Each structure stands twice: as structure tokens, then as C-alpha cells.
Amino acid sequence: MSFSAIIYDANGRILSSRSNAQESELVGQTYIKGDVLGDLEDFYVKDSAIVAKPTQPSAAHTFDYSTKAWTLDLSLAKAQAWARIKSDRNLAEFGTFTWDSNTFQCDAQSQQRILNTVQRARANLSFSSDWTLADNSSKTFSGADYINIGVAMSQHIDDCHKKARGYRADIDAATTEEQVDAVQWG
């Protein structure tokens, strides 16, 4: 006679399910008869019964089958926090920066254009040219201005990375989930 079987390990982790199983096929495996509705990862076996896991508190929590509870993986929480900070750093770095009350775009293409214009200005200090600012207004800058704009852009990028390194140190020093979660770009 065939039946549906839920195969699990000694801690209750469901390893697989089989429909139309035969007892002879399951020799040496721990199983119960029954069907799992949904993803096997959402359930475990306890006292020969299929139990739904409680809601995962955060992506940094892993299910401990021996205790049947979610536990924080602090290294995973730290890795996720660092990924978030790097993403925020990139948004800031490639956003805008200000020089002399003028706001410039700072995406990768704008950075390259600014660097090219700085090179032109260094080659010819009497150089001047119009530049389209982040608000789409246009302004004429001198060669000396462009050199200062390049310095301001470089400082902006450096400041973003210094800030991120500080947050990285805070993440590395954290010993609790609350401390990790408190590290926010700001």
C-alpha cells in the first residue's frame, strides 16, 4: 500500500516528501505519514507531527531545529548591515555634491566629465565653459573654478567613504541585533 511520507532528520528538519511511497523504500529513514502543504522549509516535525515555523523575525535569523526557534546569526546581520551601508554610500557618492553654492550631479558619467574638464582647465588656465548643474540650470565657470570643482568632488567621494568606514567599525563592534540595526546612514 502506498502513502505520502515526510522524511526528516533527528532534529525535525524536513528533508523531503514523497507521494506514493512504499515502506520498503523508506527503510533506514525517519518519516511520518502525511502531506505538507506549501514549502518544506516552512515546516518541521515535532513529536511526530508537522508544525509550521513561526514567522522569521528578520533575514538574519536562522531556524535552529534543535530548539525549534529562530536564532540571530550575528555575522549574517552584520553582513546585511554592511551591504545596506555600502548601498547607501553609493547613493550618496553618486548623488550630488556642492561647491560654492552650486549643486553638481555626481553619477559616474558626471564624475568622468568633471575630471575631463579639470584636465582641460589644468592645460589652459584661461579656459572657461558653461556647465549644466543638477537643477538643469547652466553657469559659466573658469578654469580655476573647474579645478576647485574637481577638488570638491574628490572630497565629497572621500567623505562618503570615510563615513562608511566609520559605520563599518560600528557594525564590526556590535554585539547585539539592536546595535547592528542602530547603524544607519545619516
171 and 82, same structural domain?
yes
Query: 69 lies in a domain?
Result: no
The pTM of the full predicted model, rounded to 2 decimals, is 0.76
132 and 87, same structural domain?
yes
| CA distances to 66, 128, 145 from 142, in Å | 69, 4, 5
Query: 165 lies in a domain?
Result: yes
Q: How far, in Å, CA of 80 to CA of 64, rounded?
A: 20
Q: What is the pLDDT of residue 161?
A: 98
pLDDT in tens, 158-175: 999 999 999 999 999 999
Q: Domain limits at 37?
A: 3-53
With a cut of 80, say whether residue 3 has pLDDT above it: yes
pLDDT in tens, 11-61: 999 999 988 888 889 999 999 998 777 889 999 999 999 999 999 999 999
Query: 28 lies in a domain?
Result: yes
pLDDT band of 96, cuts 50, 70, 90: very high
45 and 82, same structural domain?
no
The neighbour count for residue 171, using CB atoms within 10 Å, is 20
Q: How far, in Å, CA of 139 to CA of 17, rounded?
A: 69
C-alpha torsion 127→130→131→133, nearest 10:
140
Q: What is the pLDDT of residue 37?
A: 72
pLDDT in tens, 128-142: 999 999 999 999 999
- Which of 157, 155, 125, 154 has the alpha carbon at shortest distance from 141? 125
pLDDT band of 152, cuts 50, 70, 90: very high
Sign of CA dihedral 152, 157, 161, 164: positive
CA atoms in the 13 A half-sphere facing the CB of 113: 12
Q: Could you give the number of structural domains in the chain?
A: 2
